[in-house]
Amino acid sequence: MSQTSRAPGSSTARRLGRWVLGAFLTFAGVAHLTFGRESFRAQVPPWLPLDADLVVVASGVVEVGLGLALLLLGRHHVAVGWVVALFFVAVFPGNIAQFVEGRDAFGLDTDLARGIRLLFQPLLVLWVLWSTGAWRAWRENRRRRARA
């Protein structure tokens, strides 16, 4: 089967990328709920009108769920990809707040380190859209609609 006739996200490289990201998210979610809880609290912006611990626990549960979805829901990987990408966008303000307010967590104790971390969030969005085939499926759907 040629690469162009495959389902989006079905190549070996994409599958491996999806599994690595799924494992990473699952691990991060478990860290939210256990050993990394205090560090994750440092990322919750103080202006957020919710209890920081509630945000950490809720986001940890979501991350475990999203990670497992990436690992186990191969048939629905395109939809899962869009949901994970939206999650990464949703948590980005917390990363920005950590940078702007100079809060230390995860060994990020300088503005340079916190700034470099900010650059990786868009890469995570691109990674999930690529590895799940979500971006490719969206483009193919647009082409089909344009021809119809």
Q: What does the CA dihedral 54, 57, 61, 63 come to, rounded to 10 degrees? A: 110
pLDDT tens, per residue, the chain with 148 residues: 444 445 555 689 999 999 999 999 999 999 999 999 888 887 888 888 999 999 999 999 999 999 999 999 878 989 999 999 999 999 888 888 888 888 887 778 888 988 888 899 999 999 999 999 999 988 888 888 888 7
The two three-digit tokens of residue 40, written as one number: 């994750």
This prediction has a pTM of: 0.83
Q: Domains of the chain: which residue ranges?
A: 10-147
